[in-house]
């Protein structure tokens, strides 16, 4: 549940109606692989961006009941985690947040 909530909130934050149309297509195509490595178990295989996000967001901190009972609080904490991860640098030297602002997927190893 939490992992799908992370994906839902990432799309809402970065692929909303004001986002670049091509970036929206790219983000939707990447889907889970914005954070995970294609072809491997999601729980174990995070790409560089997924590892940065995981420093701040752990699925066990967002049980189904918590998300259901406190949706706005959960959303706020998830978005805060994304913003903290955005300050980390990608292997290419750019911050993940800069890449997203430039309509690029954050991870160099997004698998697309």
Query: Do 108 and 90 touch, CB atoms closer than 8 A?
Result: yes
Question: CB count, 10 Å around CB of 13?
Answer: 15
Give the pLDDT of residue 111: 58
- For residue 77, give every residue at least 6 positions away whose Cβ sits within 8 Å of its Cβ, in sequence order, or none: 57, 61, 62
Give the pLDDT of residue 1: 52
Per-residue pLDDT of the chain (112 residues; tens, 9 = 90+): 558 999 999 999 999 999 999 999 999 999 999 999 888 876 678 999 999 999 999 999 999 999 999 999 999 999 999 999 999 999 999 999 999 999 999 998 765 5
Question: CB count, 10 Å around CB of 52?
Answer: 25
d(CA 33, CA 20): 19
Give the pLDDT of residue 66: 96
d(CA 94, CA 96): 6
Query: Do 95 and 82 touch, CB atoms closer than 8 A?
Result: no
């Amino acid at each position: 549940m939490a992992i799908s909530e992370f994906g839902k909130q990432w799309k809402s934050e970065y692929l909303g109606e004001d986002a670049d149309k091509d970036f929206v297509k790219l983000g939707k195509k990447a889907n889970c692989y914005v954070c995970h490595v294609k072809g491997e178990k999601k729980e174990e295989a995070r790409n560089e961006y997924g590892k940065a996000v995981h420093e701040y967001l752990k699925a066990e901190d967002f049980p189904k009941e918590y998300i259901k009972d406190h949706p706005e609080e959960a959303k706020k904490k998830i978005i805060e985690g994304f913003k903290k991860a955005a300050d980390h640098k990608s292997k290419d030297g750019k911050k993940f947040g800069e890449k997203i602002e430039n309509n690029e997927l954050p991870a160099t190893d997004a698998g697309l």
